[in-house]
Amino acid sequence: MIRVGDAAKAPEFPVAAKRALGNPQLRQNVRRATEIIRNKRAIVVGEMPDWEQLRESAHEIKEHVLRHLDFYLEQFENACTRAGGHVHWARDADEANRLVIDIIQGHGEREIIKVKTMTSDETRLNVALEAAAIVPYETDLADLIIQLGHDRPSHIVVPALHKNRAEIRELFQRTMKLETLGPEPQDLTNAARAFLREKFLRVKVGFSGANFAIADTGSVCVVESEGNGRMCVTLPTLLVTLVGIEKIIPTFGDLEVFLQLLSRSATGERMNPYNSIWTGVRLGDGPEEFHVVLLDNGRTKVLADEASRETLDCIRCAACLNACPVYRQTGGHAYGSIYSGPIGAILTPQLQSMEHSTSLPYASSLCGACYEVCPVKINIPEILIHLRRRIVDAHAPLGERLGMKAAAIAFGDSSRLSIAQKLARAAQWPFKRGDHVSTLPWPLGAWTATRDLPAVPSESFREWWAKRDRRQP
């Protein structure tokens, strides 16, 4: 079954956003955190004279990959297999979860340590693991906070961004039984470190996602900043990686472009502290067995729509979230998906064949801030409009479709437009208040319930122009 976390059951964005807007603590946490990251990003991006060329290169590489995805996926499979890895293909979330569970159970293991991976949140892997009596331990600090609090991620890069330090301290005190825990950031990271260290040394199965899968070498790359990822992909004897098929890049050399863009866009750092790249297995060095599961889960359907396929170019840096005036007010939970903000608004409904989350493409002011900051130049505003068109074509009520048809007829000819204006002028009379119409009867009342409608002027431009011509000598 194709699944994007619990997005298919989430409430519509306007309902969830209203709830989020009523939580001042959440709004303050989100505003403060996004402002810090945005400012850091602006400084390090400003240092790069070739930033625009890098963005252009990244866009071109990704577009090239999407045009030849079948070729690069097979190239990756062959290279990874030659290096001693095992490659599996998963059509959807359930198939991916089943494959991962079978591999773990095949080794008689009951616990795994996980690097931060949104793709496993997409398939709801942790729920499937727990149902199979396998215990997953999140090792990324923010993901650990989410797991301990039975919470949901609200940001792509900083999943616990909606929590402040006091809330995290209270959570750690309660769940780790640390009554004397101090309030400083170092106290909190030391507590997490002590909690996780024992698991790093004991658990035999590591699990990761991937930022990039490199076709020509069959390598996998994970970018992170805490060092937990490095532990998860080197200490266990068995390593399983789940990768969305769009994460393929053609060559090892292409990493040069993406690693410069990703760290600056995601966290405002010049370079990421830990870039782990591995190729298959090597005797006496790291895991003895390596499996990679290549996940479709709706991606090939996104690929089929030429007007919006560049959604798959995304490298999950979250710069568009931090720049978005809507996200900065509501935070991520209002999007009802693990993918929030502008990229979530276009990715989530498309992965689900536009059957769910159809309120998300409207969760945007179309200001273009997301496009300006996107390191791979995804034209999010254009895709939002394209998706709105698809939604209207598929779901618009009969009345709206008839109304649009009537408008098209009226606007198609100047004399028809003139008649329509005269009719509208007469019809608005009982509802007109000064220069606007404030309340219209059903079904048009839905429009005026939250907006004023400018009144049809007493004279159209054409009528004024015709009169002026008559007055000319």
Give the footprint of ligand SF4 on this chain (CB under 6 A).
156, 265, 314-320, 343, 373-376, 378
Residue 19 vs residues 329, 334, 419: alpha-carbon distances, Å? 11, 8, 45
CB of 301 vs ligand SF4, minimal distance in Å: 18
Residue 132, Cβ density class (10 Å: 0-12 exposed, 13-18 middle, ≥19 buried): middle
CB of 156 vs ligand SF4, minimal distance in Å: 6
Residue 150 vs residues 145, 207, 286: alpha-carbon distances, Å? 8, 20, 32
CB of 59 vs ligand SF4, minimal distance in Å: 10
- The residue among 163 and 316 lying less far from ligand SF4, judged by its C-beta, is 316
What does the alpha-carbon distance between residue 111 and residue 108 come to, in Å, rounded to a whole number? 10
- The residue among 238 and 319 lying less far from ligand SF4, judged by its C-beta, is 319
DSSP single-letter state for residue 379: -
Tokens describing residue 13: 């964005």
Residue 155 vs residues 114, 326, 343: alpha-carbon distances, Å? 18, 13, 11
CB of 194 vs ligand SF4, minimal distance in Å: 33
CB of 436 vs ligand SF4, minimal distance in Å: 38
Q: Which residues pair with 276 in a beta bridge?
A: 222
CB of 308 vs ligand SF4, minimal distance in Å: 12
- The residue among 137 and 339 lying less far from ligand SF4, judged by its C-beta, is 339
CB of 48 vs ligand SF4, minimal distance in Å: 16
What does the alpha-carbon distance between residue 252 and residue 256 come to, in Å, rounded to a whole number? 8
Q: Which residues pair with 240 in a beta bridge?
A: 207, 291
- The residue among 80 and 370 lying less far from ligand SF4, judged by its C-beta, is 370
* Residue 229 near residue 276, CB atoms below 8 Å: yes
- The residue among 79 and 380 lying less far from ligand SF4, judged by its C-beta, is 380
CB of 53 vs ligand SF4, minimal distance in Å: 17
Phi, psi of 113 (to 5 degrees): -105, 135
- The residue among 192 and 315 lying less far from ligand SF4, judged by its C-beta, is 315
Q: Which residues pair with 278 in a beta bridge?
A: 220
Sequence length of the chain is: 473
What does the alpha-carbon distance between residue 239 and residue 248 come to, in Å, rounded to a whole number? 19
- The residue among 128 and 343 lying less far from ligand SF4, judged by its C-beta, is 343
CB of 61 vs ligand SF4, minimal distance in Å: 13
- The residue among 226 and 313 lying less far from ligand SF4, judged by its C-beta, is 313
- The residue among 3 and 316 lying less far from ligand SF4, judged by its C-beta, is 316
What does the alpha-carbon distance between residue 72 and residue 249 come to, in Å, rounded to a whole number? 8
* Residue 30 near residue 321, CB atoms below 8 Å: no
Question: What is the 3 state secondary structure string of 204-251?
Answer: CEEEECCCEEECCCCEEEEEECCCHHHHHHHCCCEEEEEEEHHHEECC
